[in-house]
Amino acid sequence: MLSATLFGQECEHLIWHDEFRGNALDTDKWDFDIGTGNNGWGNNELQYYTNSNQNVLVEDGLLKIRALNQSFGGSNYTSSRIVTRGKFAFSSGRIEAKMKLPSGQGIWPAFWMLPEEWKYGIWPSSGEIDIVELLGQEPNKVYGTLHYGPYYPNNQMTGANYTIGSPNFADDFHVFSLEWTESIMKWSVDGVEYNSISKNDINWEFWPFNQDMHMLLNVAVGGNWPGPPNGSTTFPAEMQVEYIRVFQTLSELIIDGRETVIEGAATSYKVAPLSSTTFNWTVPAGASILSGQGSNEISVLWGNQGGTIEVETDKCCCMQIASRQVEVKEMNCEANILNANGDDELYWIRKDGDFDENIVVPNPNSVNNSSLCHRYTRNPGAQYDVLNFVTELIDNAAQFESGTLLFELDVYTAASPGTEILIQLEEHEAALGSFPAGRHSVYKAVTQQQNQWHSLVFSYDWSPDTTTPDNAINHLLFLFAPNSNNNSQFYIDNFRVRDTTCN
């Protein structure tokens, strides 16, 4: 372990490692993904992942993952994919691995990371970090990449590659590193930085890499990117790993929690639970710490203004301060959370139809005389057409059920008066399961006028899953004209939350 230095200087600690010194994989640190996944793990890959010691073993101080040309479970190839999911996840640090990567047409080794909780939605909206990937037909080139953005096919990626001479990545061991802080990622090979991506570099509204993620190691066979193996491919194709180490400095700690809240909300903020560390939190004026002072996680009650949350950490005489800016949306009886004129606090990640943002308002009137609005066109092939947003603003959904808080929306549509629009609040990870899991509550309004801007007030309809906690909402869905098959258009603006207790 590296030694500590004092008072604000770098103070790096080894927080997790595997040196692969035993004679079997350490199942206190690793688990297995088994099978072929959905559609070849989403990439049309050809292998069946097993936990067999033919495919994954530890010997001679090395982890070895082997892709074999053998039939199993309906696949013509086997390999292994190991994960730290449920055993170790983290949200910042320096990851370092010494590896030799296999070569051959159609061979695809990777060391990468996925979210532990998928807090912003399914892939890729919650993010994917590829520490190193290699296409076996190019054994002297590796890739470092971030995946993010809305759901497929609107997903996005940013990355770079690094090419080496002799010996290539299949002929010798090389050290692959990722430095991960709150706002930037840096990739290196043997100490040479070749890729750097910051928050400002990605073409998306928010940066999902502020949450705990776990590590994965695998050797895939085939898939959309490398293509299938051919007669030149040699099996077994073996990835060898000498060590993986994760370091963290106190200066790299990320405060995990909501960046935008509504006045009066109570929300939690946390940093990694480092051992032998003291935590001293401060919050902006008007906010108060409800619980957790002295620990790695606090609950904060917000007043009517935002500011900076800070935590001073002290570990082994090394002191640092981590901070996070939080914006408070003042109610003032209502808070506008989605409009086309600069107040969007929702981020769309999935749409069955077409969502056109920031277009000219048709026929403005006294209800909506803004210059811009959004337009949604239903997909007639989707009976329950969905427009899905990530949200951090709903800290207590019970207030909407009781009618203390109401959703309101300005709408312009050619659809017949009486057309239903639903709002559904979800805890997304649970909602990945079958209906009604994770669907907290549904709110309904019906259009009143045709081809004229008018305001709708949504009233509580029902609770599909009463076990979803009131404070777990992270997705908000619109269902326009549900249980129908048409291509109606809905212009929307000024989606807001109103407090009915205001005078």
318-334 pLDDT per residue, tens: 778 888 899 898 777 88
Q: List, for residues 14-61, the tens digit of each pLDDT value.
A: 889 999 999 999 999 999 999 999 899 999 999 999 999 999 999 999
Question: What is the Cα–Cα distance from 131 to 95, expressed in whole angstroms?
Answer: 9
Q: Are 348 and 477 in contact (CB under 8 A)?
A: no
128 belongs to the catalytic site: yes
CA angle (394, 208, 352) in 5-degree steps: 70
Chain centroid to CA 428: 11
Comparing C-alpha atoms, which of 465, 184, 474, 494 is closest to residue 349?
A: 474
pLDDT at residue 476 in the model: 97
Q: Choosing from 12, 45, 116, 133, which is the catalytic residue? A: 133
Q: For 57, what's the count of Cα atoms within 13 Å in the CB-facing half-sphere?
A: 10
Question: What is the Cα–Cα distance from 378 to 385, expressed in whole angstroms?
Answer: 6
Q: Are 72 and 84 in contact (CB under 8 A)?
A: no
Q: List, for residues 196-253, the tens digit of each pLDDT value.
A: 999 999 988 889 998 899 999 999 999 999 999 999 999 999 999 999 999 987 666 7
Question: What is the Cα–Cα distance from 498 to 455, expressed in whole angstroms?
Answer: 13
Q: Choosing from 12, 45, 116, 128, which is the catalytic residue? A: 128
Mean of pLDDT values over 303-313: 91
From 36-40, 257-261, 312-316, 398-402, the region with the lowest mean pLDDT: 312-316
pLDDT at residue 11 in the model: 66
Q: Which helix (H) or strand (E) holds 425?
A: strand 420-426
Mean of pLDDT values over 67-87: 97
Question: What is the Cα–Cα distance from 338 to 493, expressed in whole angstroms?
Answer: 7
pLDDT at residue 7 in the model: 31
Mean of pLDDT values over 389-399: 91
Phi, psi for 190 (deg, rounded to 5): 50, 40
10 belongs to the catalytic site: no
By three-state DSSP, how is residue 343 classified?
coil
Chain centroid to CA 373: 27
By three-state DSSP, how is residue 370 classified?
coil
pLDDT at residue 3 in the model: 28
Question: What is the Cα–Cα distance from 386 to 379, expressed in whole angstroms?
Answer: 9
Q: Give residue 166's pLDDT band: very low, low, confident or very high (50, 70, 90).
A: confident
pLDDT at residue 340 in the model: 85
Q: List, for residues 268-281, the tens digit of each pLDDT value.
A: 898 877 777 889 99
Is pTM beyond 0.85? Reply is no
Question: What is the Cα–Cα distance from 196 to 179, expressed in whole angstroms?
Answer: 9
Q: Give residue 191's pLDDT band: very low, low, confident or very high (50, 70, 90).
A: very high
